[in-house]
Chains A and B, each alone.
Chain A
Amino acid sequence: MSLGLDDGLAGGTGAEAGGQDYLDGNALAGPLSEFSAGDLTVAEGRCENCGMTGVLATTRVYAHAPGMTARCRGCGSVLLRLTEAGGRTVLDLRGLSYLSIKRD
């Protein structure tokens, strides 16, 4: 199963999608740069709950909260949580079976 780039979620801006209460996964690019010099939003991940795969840019990101929560577009499960809290950035990836990125 693959996450397609349909329903206007992969606009590359991190903007709120179609009046929904979530952003597209490109919104993760800035804070994830704390962990990698490369762009992790192009990394492919697998949802631990339903097995759907896709790049982080296609996840649904809920950002009107104490941190950012990226959810699977297939089942809605939490894939990733990212907070900037007390001078540290905290990343929880337990909802992902893996993250994969192609080497040049």
Chain B
Amino acid sequence: MGIISSGFRGRRNKDQPGLPPGQYLTESFPVLSAGPTPRIDTAEWEFQLTTETGQSHSWSWDEFQNLPQEEFTVDIHCVTSWSKFGTRWKGVSLDTFFQDVDTSHPYTMFSSYGGYTTNLPMEDILNGKAWIVHQFDGEDLEPAHGGPARLLVPHLYFWKSAKWVRGLRMMDRNDPGFWETNGYNLHGDPWLEERYW
């Protein structure tokens, strides 16, 4: 019995440019979640970055909105095999959050409202590779898709793009997160099909 639910039935096209191996293309936007959808009031929302010294940097919703915003279009790829091309987002680059942060640790653990976690190396979130986004397709991000704000790391499988993100802490080793402790790859590059252990 297969237990993975992709929430989608799509069409495989091995010759489709931009489609990683083993993926199907979908026009819809399936909702996957390991728990109930939290409803977070932006008045209470906070994003916190904690370094190895214990120093915390935090941003309220208003402070987050006042950071330099980027609008961009990327393809996304879920480990359950669906891919969606041309998704349009608005948010803040992780480079911006790290501008005044002093750290030498090479790994991060992101955490979410609701308790989800996922690990990411610094080299996968800096230099324009990752964002905290709050709009999808010109609209505020819906709670089902991670609103009010989610992490977006489009070059890795989508379980790395933590919904309802609330912060990250620096790590000196690459400890696994929620799915990475339970059979899924520590890294998750869709072009290398880094799906599992």
Contacts and interface: CB of A to CB of B under 8 A. Distances in A.
A64 B36 contact: no
Interface SS of B by simple majority: loop
B184 interface: yes
A78 B115 contact: yes
Interface stretch (B2-10, B51-59, B65-73, B129-137): B2-10
Interface string A53-68: 0000000001111111
A61 to B, nearest CB: 10
A92 B182 contact: yes
A62 B144 CA distance: 14
A45 B103 CA distance: 42
A86 B37 contact: no
B122 interface: no
Contacts of B32: 64-66
Contacts of B79: 66
A45 B181 CA distance: 21
Contacts of A30: 1, 3
Nearest to B181: A92
Given A66-B4, A67-B179, A68-B3, A83 B184 contact: yes
A64 B1 contact: no
A86 B182 contact: no
B196 interface: yes
A23 to B, nearest CB: 10
Nearest to A30: B1
A85 interface: yes
21 contacts: A21-B36, A21-B37, A63-B5, A64-B5, A65-B32, A65-B33, A66-B179, A67-B4, A67-B182, A67-B183, A69-B34, A71-B36, A81-B178, A82-B182, A84-B4, A85-B184, A86-B195, A86-B197, A88-B183, A88-B196, A90-B183
Interface of B: 1-5, 7, 30-37, 79-80, 115, 159, 178-179, 181-184, 195-197
Interface of A: 21-22, 30-31, 62-69, 71, 76, 78, 81-88, 90, 92
> Across chains A and B, which 8 residue pairs bring their CB atoms closest together, nearest first?
A86-B196, A85-B183, A90-B183, A30-B1, A83-B183, A85-B196, A69-B34, A31-B3
